[in-house]
Structure 1
């Protein structure tokens, strides 16, 4: 199995101690080789060229030089402490007039490590230690250095420190980018979950409205067909035809609503019903046996799609409740008022209401909860409760100048006063 250069670099990053130890061994070997290969003859030539006395290499020289370079193996673990400790053998080499080998290179590596892996305060302290160590070593060393030489050395020290700081800042910047990407990903997932929950809630409301309305009408038609089966086959045939048409309509609407769940890309929803289809809805309810009067006030105008659907579903649910709970002799009135800044929908009946229905003694259902959510979504005002003079009413106002909102609806209504009541 061949190892690629990228895989080798990744392995070295995951095993920093191995790479640092290898660097320390190579640096120490080269430093000691420079000292040993110089020999007495090389020392004599260096003394003649610099006019200073330099001691020939011995065991102490090699030990002190090794103490300056071997600590590089642990540079990532204790960089500042090793930087401070290695100044002692460096001063010893200078004061004893020994050849220093590559001890200065080791000091620069430790300074770079402090700047690249520690905070600003500790990196400045490391820079100060290096400058102080260089100043003391210059005073102890027998080698004469001119001011340009000092300037070059100081520039090299500063370059090492600045390079380490730049690497640290770049590493921190990349880490911040990774964290920001993680936060954005988590936020995107949370938004996706919220959107899915909202879509499930929307589909649940739509399915409830469609199923409750059509099944209620089909139930009434089936009951009429059963009663007239023997006495009037023609009426029975018409009732069964109405049941068939209603069932197909319900299936088409449910297929349109649930179809959004089967799309991988953006949902391609078919046209939803709206206030323009209100007359058709009234005719269906009349065929089911509910006496309805429809009155439209004001000039019709194009409604926002959400409000258009919400108002239609509100009328549909209210008429369905009237059909189920108002009684066989009840009548209903639907009033739609178009105004420049709002849409008012008022549905009322003169029947017995849900309180007298033994099948639903609590007077609450999912349909009315759906109405409340729809009206609240668009910042509307809703009143649901008994009608003055008997019966039941549902009254809502939709503002036409506000965008949808998601907080809870108002708890008091200016239309009828008092808290909102959710009774079927």
Structure 2
């Protein structure tokens, strides 16, 4: 304003040298974030030179110096801030003594400088808080993304297990029935019709289960979905296996009771996978399925009288010996069956063991699933 508003006649005029020196005292602010201390010292030096050489119309407050001091408080370390603060107080005292030498001007200048310093520290705190909040939000977003990816991976693995169990079982039964069909047509036509009916029924059941499972992948949730198969549906599963010519025994021991739907679905899939591998690979004539209800666990045992272990392989969760690839209830040609059974058992805090059947003939799969945590002290 002293360069625009007319001044009194006894005041020094506003000439081009005053404009140039005033501008020179402001330009260093461009670099204040890179070198705040250097900029502050430069501005104070230019201000002193202005007073000594030109003594033109000055500003009522050293705005550029206050902004530079604010930047020092905002960006510099504590040791630097203390040193610069002491030098600033000294510079203020010298400037006031040179100008009016009054306590009023000294207190006012110190107050304004202190306010600039306080604003710098408050802005530093605000920026640190904002950075912390943004960092926390970024970490939370990253954690949510990782959790979503892990959930998607678990869901893909679950769907893969379900599709493997459904398709492997259905196709195995259908192949066995189809291979027996031509023989039955020549020797016992009435059995051929039953074989073809079994193929159709197995296909329809597999399609229904696949529709139910694939419905999870659709965005349209309007269509109803039937619940996953449980222990009660084992009877139908065993009947289809009997239709392939395999003798199947089924027994439940212990305190039979209703279990959570997820646990019953696991039992169904474990038995289904075990029977599928018996039909495909074991060359057995008889298989026994036993469910043993304990106080806190459910045992599932599938035993056949087939070829037995071809060679020792790593067992499923919990130890034991497995059958070689492509043999028995413990595995299939690629080992996915045994892996799937192990994963299902582990999901319910259980174990899966496989090895030779009692007596050395055939193969046995034993799965233990936790139904309820044991009481403390038991």
TM-score by length of 2: 0.83
Would the aligned equivalents of 2:21 and 2:50 in 1 still touch at CA under 8 Å? yes
Identify the residue that residue 96 of structure 2 maps to in structure 1.
138
Q: Distance in 2 between matches of 1:358 and 1:128?
A: 83
1:80-229 superposed matches below 5 A: 80-92=37-49, 98=55, 101-102=58-59, 104-141=62-99, 143-146=100-103, 148-229=104-185
Do the aligned partners of 1:69 and 1:106 also contact (CA within 8 Å) in 2? yes
How far apart, in 2, do the equivalents of 1:57 and 1:229 lie? 119
Which residue of 1 is the match for residue 363 of structure 2? 392
Aligned match for 2:337, one of 351, 367, 372: 367
Match of 1:41 in 2: 10
Q: Are 1:263 and 2:219 counterparts?
A: yes
2:322 is equivalent to residue 353 of structure 1: no
More deviation, 93-102/114-123: 93-102
* Pair 1:295–1:151, CA change in 2 (3 A): same
| Cα distance change of structure 1 residues 248 and 266 upon mapping to structure 2, 3 Å threshold | closer
Shift in Å, 1:118: 4.0
> What is aligned with 1:321?
277
Asked if the contact 1:57/1:98 (under 8 Å) is kept, the reply is no
Conserved? CA contact 2:96–2:106, under 8 Å: no
- How far apart are 1:273 and its partner, in Å? 0.9
Q: Is the 8 A contact 1:108 1:157 kept in 2?
A: yes
CA 1:251/1:354 → structure 2, altered by over 3 Å: closer, same or farther?
A: farther
CA RMSD in angstroms comes to 3.2
Alpha-carbon distance change, 363 to 230 in structure 1, aligned in 2, over 3 angstroms: closer
SS at match of 2:26: helix
* Contact 1:325/1:353 (8 A) holds in 2: no
Change (3 A) 1:352 1:67: closer
Structure 1 window deviating more from structure 2 (319-328 vs 348-357): it is 348-357
Q: CA deviation at 1:275?
A: 1.5
Q: 1:290 aligns with which of 226, 246, 258?
A: 246
Residue of structure 1 in register with 2:317 after alignment: none
| 1:300 and 2:271 are equivalent in the alignment | no
1:397–1:183 CA distance, 2 compared to 1 (3 A): same
Kindly tell me: are residues 268 and 164 of structure 1, through their superposed partners in 2, closer, same or farther at Cα, counting changes over 3 Å? Answer: farther
1:249 alignment counterpart: 205
Structure 1 residues 130, 182: closer, same or farther in 2, change over 3 A?
A: same
SS at match of 1:165: helix
Partner of 1:78: 35
Determine helix, strand or coil for the equivalent of 1:90.
Answer: helix
Cα offset for 1:69?
A: 3.5
Q: Deviations over 1:117-171 (max 9, x none)?
A: 4444444444333222101212333x1313x442232221111111122223222
CA deviation after TM superposition for structure 1 residue 402, in Å: 4.8
Displacement of 1:176: 2.8
CA distance in 1, matches of 2:308, 2:27: 93
Q: Is the 8 A contact 2:277 2:332 kept in 1?
A: no
Please, which of 338, 343, 354 is the counterpart of residue 293 of structure 2? Answer: 338
Measured in 2, the distance between the counterparts of 1:75 and 1:121 equals: 18
**Structure 1 stretch 131-140 or stretch 339-348: which is displaced more?**
131-140
CA shift in 2, pair 1:139/1:220, >3 Å: same
Unmatched runs of 5 consecutive residues or more in structure 2: 312-322
How far does residue 344 in structure 1 lie from its aligned partner after superposition? 0.7
Structure 1: which 5+ runs fail to align? 1-29, 44-55, 404-424
Superposed displacement of residue 57, structure 1? 7.7
Structure holding more helix per residue? 1
SS at match of 1:348: strand
Larger mean Cα displacement after TM superposition, 223-232 or 336-345: 223-232
Query: Per-residue displacement from partner, 1:222-265 (whole Å, max 9, x unpaired)?
Result: 12211011232221111111111110001111111122122267
Tell me, what secondary structure is at the counterpart of 2:349?
coil
